Structure 1
Amino acid sequence: MPTEFDDWFVREILVHERALALFLQRNWPHRDELHDLRQEVYARVYEAAARGRPTAPKAFLFTTARHLMTDRLRRSRVVSIEPVGDFESSNVYLIDEVSPERWMGTRQALTRLAEALDRLPDRCREVVWLRRVEELPQKGVAERLGISEKTVEKHLAKGMRLIADYLYGGDAAHPAAAMDEDDGQGRRQQAD
């Protein structure tokens, strides 16, 4: 027995069946999937509308169709990772045992990088850390530190240059003493 909700669905959603079919035909390249696609759109709209009816049913229907097509395209681009054949015979080592020399070399490189970061002027170090380690966008760094994006850009460029100088220029390079620091307000101040 049809409910009031079913009547709403017929009146507000199914009335657009022809337009939806044309929309899917224009936008979905696999003709053999159109019927299933349309039914899945209806199922999604029905489930979502049962929780709360949309204020613009037609727009909701077509937005749902667009999202469904996007989801299917994303899923079709996912590459399955399944082992093919025997790796033993191809001399591919799946487990890379780390030699003590390699482990020590990596540890030394990380120590030098930490030293280079510690030698940066304070504001410059904050910007490099937020951009390169925490991976915040430039705008996010500027907002967090209360400085302009241009200042973030300058600090990042200076910091990366000073780190490179320290790592590749030897112990003589001392980044903190090498530069004056911009305080973020356009004023220069001597680095500590």
Structure 2
Amino acid sequence: MSTVDHPQVESSLEGLLKQVRPRLKTVFTRYRIPPQDTEDILQQALMALVYRKESIRDPEAWLVGTVRNKCLLYWREHRRKLYETVDAAVLEVVAGPVGPDQERAHLRHDLAQALERLPERCRSLLWMRYRQGYDPPELAERLGYSPSSIGKVTTRCLAALTRHLFASGICRRKTE
């Protein structure tokens, strides 16, 4: 449905946006959403508003709340991608040649130091994952976790490892 086909919807959205824009700007600032991504988040929220407008009593409050939730989802997705990147990089380092032998030795040493600073359960889990090649069901069985919870435990351990890698300067945040 195009708002051009329904001018009253377009004008009501424009009025709503004009009224709520200062609050939305505060939400985007509070959640530190990069300017290039704020418009996408707002577009998603507005599309949801248009599809659900019949059941929404207070469109302004609903829109602000929805944008707030979408900001949280934005950062969760960002974190998930970061952990997946670290996971893939660690697997690559321990799997084989990444560069010259000396560089690989330094990377392995730095990684071992970061792993040493983790709690015992994370050290065990990540050691078994990276050095011994266990997959999630095997990890769950060996470490006494339920198969449904091993993913969350692994993510928490990857998060802790990622924090240590950034804190020690081994990894640097990508700036775009």
The interval holding the TM-score normalised by the smaller chain is 0.3 to 0.5
TM-score by length of 1: 0.40
Larger proportion of helix? 2
Structure number with the bigger relative contact order (C-alpha 8 A, sep ≥ 6) is 2
Question: Which structure has the greater CA radius of gyration?
Answer: 1
